[in-house]
Structure 1
């Protein structure tokens, strides 16, 4: 069974005790059980189906409870479903208790917000227009509380910064939970209408169709991830000194893209590009990839073919899109002295300019066969020194800003025998590897 750090256990206990505070007042005798019990049963069944079949959450019923019930009664609705839902992996009981506590807290806060803004009266009067604003505010609070409590768990467990985790969870949840909130509001209004709870259940049918569509997308995305994982694992097996490098470059590319304000689809494409940028090494002889010390000019020319190999290997993978351009051109330079085609400036695709910076950063902050890791600050200083000649200054500036603000905390699932340095970590003094001939001003690393 996976060990749970003491910090994480303490956090879960505090969350559970905190949720109990919302369940005590008012007295249980005042709880409208004729509404709370059917909603709790409906949520328990829907949550189980949603998690097993659609890999998603079932929030419309929770939010309908927030719009229909007093805060403490609404906080009871998620408990049976959360305590009985699939936990994913061990330990099961703490995970279920933590989820129940988080949902109870979020529903209580959303209900309190909804009532404070007069939403309860609008639902009783079946005034949908007047109920929209309080319901929207309740959804925002629901998302914010879930982001705060869910983002707080990995922070003590994995020693990750809570701010980017919380912000990412909040932004990603707004659109889907907003749709669930609208469905929950329609359920609440129909529940109070002369047609009663049976009519409210009809709202869930279009939600079921949308979940089915999402499940198809999720399956397709899973297949994409499996394809990428297989290619990366093949490269990692062949080149043991760069194991984990691809995932870190994908993460750094994603950080740059988000800092530049790119949309999520573009961010995902650049993550793919970063992860697969070195897939062409599958066409390079293993003895060259594992050679200790500097390469001869002939060996260097062979290794410099790997971007073209990678472009060919990924030719038939349609979902990569613009990522293939980054794979082909991530070793081009702004001054035109790169390879394979010697492109310069804006001739180099934007995706390739992002990946080039991410690749160089991780190469400098990771221990290789021919160099030792540099501290993060030294690597950023070197990137800024080479901005304009080697790298796009805009990409360098974006990476510098995001790492200065949030730190560098690479999440690598591969087995990395040579872990990268992290922000604030001490590393041995950097060795001075042999620079690539004919390329002055570039960071001193082999073209691997």
Structure 2
């Protein structure tokens, strides 16, 4: 509690008082049956407990069904028991519980007020489709707007986020998922008012719970993927600390190229994986060669040039990487066939490998090394264009140039300051060369 700024406490208190005003006048039995209110509140508490404990998410269909079925003051009561007295996970601070309760109460009240003002109650009772979708859609929008305004406000007050950034993206990120929950809530409300009664409305929750489970599984799998990649990159950074941060920057540049080429987000994500992991094969190269101060012998250079094959072998069984595995194997190939490990020519080189090759060379030139300063971005792009057609795919070079002109180049890490001498595995190039 001591860590919460006074201004944030004041903000939460004001929101709670506003929510309290929305509860007045308290609903009467004639306008809102208490049994319906109690059932929806208990149902929401159970669903909220299940979703938060099992799926670590939020669950709004019951709240929106309450907004479609009950008068605004009664609908605002539905989230209070679950928000004020949560039974999932460790008990949060009282101020946090008060904030969540007030926020949800205001959002449900706003959704119900809009829904009733547009005649949504009669549309639900008469199952008047498609007109019932209009007030329901407006109610969902009001629900999202209230949550967005309040969330942005707490970010400004508690976290000192600039107002111009506090609300950026909040509404667009929440509108899609809440719209799906709103459709489920509308189906619940229609079935509730139908001759089949509340029992039939409960059937809507089954597919929603299944969807939550699938969504949670997807995010857990994605988190596992990210953890796998982080572990591999960390291992490379520990072994070859001179290029620390290089992998992340190559991944970022690969994403810029992929998006400029119009690739879908799934392929762009694969490109990011490819860029981040392109040097993972260095784990199979003796550390003494990676850190050697003097020039490499031809035999030592041949050993280092095996790192794409080592990397491919390491990630061959990681199925979620997809075509990123081909990029790891072929990112040192050249269009003229002088690259390695297989000397592929032109179109024989996988597209993702051609993207990573350009991103790799670009970062090698624009990163500071102990033996040379980083080249300016414009000079690096000019060098890439000079080598386009022989070493690099001109289409990838052009895409990078356009992306840099549009977004600039702002890497989070630009150099590793630990080493004081250039390693033998990365000699000073007069041109991009085959980046190692």
TM-score range, shorter chain: 0.7 to 0.9
What secondary structure, in the 3-state scheme, does the structure 2 residue paired with 1:29 have?
Answer: coil
Once the two structures are TM-superposed, the CA of residue 323 in structure 1 deviates from its matched residue by: 1.3
**Structure 1 residues 175-209: Cα deviation after superposition (integer angstroms, max 9, x where no partner):** 54333222111111222334433332221122223
Once the two structures are TM-superposed, the CA of residue 283 in structure 1 deviates from its matched residue by: 0.9
Evaluate the alpha carbon distance shift between residue 26 and residue 222 of structure 1 in structure 2; reply closer, same or farther with a 3 A threshold: closer
What is the TM-score normalised by the length of structure 2? Answer: 0.74
Which residue pairs with 1:424 in the alignment? Answer: none
Which residue pairs with 2:380 in the alignment? Answer: 382
How far, CA to CA, are the matches of 2:428 and 2:345 in structure 1?
16
Which residue pairs with 1:395 in the alignment? Answer: 399
**Structure 1 residues 49-86: Cα deviation after superposition (integer angstroms, max 9, x where no partner):** 11211232212112212323445554443344344558
Unpaired stretches in structure 2, ≥5 consecutive residues: none
**Structure 1 residues 227-274: Cα deviation after superposition (integer angstroms, max 9, x where no partner):** 333323322332233445434544554455456554343233233223
Which residue pairs with 1:64 in the alignment? Answer: 65
Deviates most, 176-185 or 286-295: 286-295
Evaluate the alpha carbon distance shift between residue 44 and residue 90 of structure 1 in structure 2; reply closer, same or farther with a 3 A threshold: closer
Q: Which has the larger radius of gyration?
A: 2
What secondary structure, in the 3-state scheme, does the structure 2 residue paired with 1:129 have?
Answer: coil
Unpaired stretches in structure 1, ≥5 consecutive residues: 411-418, 422-426
How far, CA to CA, are the matches of 2:341 and 2:163 in structure 1?
39
Structure 1 residues 34-433: aligned runs within 5 Å:
34=34, 35-71=36-72, 73-85=74-86, 96=97, 99-100=100-101, 102-104=103-105, 106-115=107-116, 117-140=118-141, 142-143=143-144, 146=147, 166-167=168-169, 173=174, 175-254=176-255, 256-258=257-259, 261-291=262-292, 299-333=300-334, 338-343=339-344, 346-360=347-361, 363=364, 378-379=376-377, 382-383=380-381, 386-387=384-385, 389=388, 390=392, 392-397=396-401, 399-400=403-404, 403-404=407-408, 408=410, 410=412, 419-420=413-414
Evaluate the alpha carbon distance shift between residue 363 and residue 74 of structure 1 in structure 2; reply closer, same or farther with a 3 A threshold: farther
What is the TM-score normalised by the length of structure 1? Answer: 0.73
How far, CA to CA, are the matches of 1:103 and 1:280 in structure 2?
50
Once the two structures are TM-superposed, the CA of residue 324 in structure 1 deviates from its matched residue by: 0.7
Deviates most, 283-292 or 41-50: 283-292
Does the Cα contact within 8 Å between 1:269 and 1:323 map onto a contact in 2? yes
Two-structure CA RMSD over aligned residues (Å)? 4.6
Which residue pairs with 1:447 in the alignment? Answer: 435
Which residue pairs with 2:24 in the alignment? Answer: 27
Does the Cα contact within 8 Å between 1:304 and 1:447 map onto a contact in 2? no
Does the Cα contact within 8 Å between 2:271 and 2:356 map onto a contact in 1? yes
What secondary structure, in the 3-state scheme, does the structure 2 residue paired with 1:61 have?
Answer: helix
Evaluate the alpha carbon distance shift between residue 231 and residue 141 of structure 1 in structure 2; reply closer, same or farther with a 3 A threshold: farther
Once the two structures are TM-superposed, the CA of residue 131 in structure 1 deviates from its matched residue by: 1.3
Does the Cα contact within 8 Å between 2:362 and 2:384 map onto a contact in 1? no
Deviates most, 59-68 or 333-342: 333-342
Does the Cα contact within 8 Å between 1:329 and 1:348 map onto a contact in 2? yes
Does residue 5 of structure 2 align to residue 17 of structure 1? no
What secondary structure, in the 3-state scheme, does the structure 1 residue paired with 2:317 have?
Answer: coil
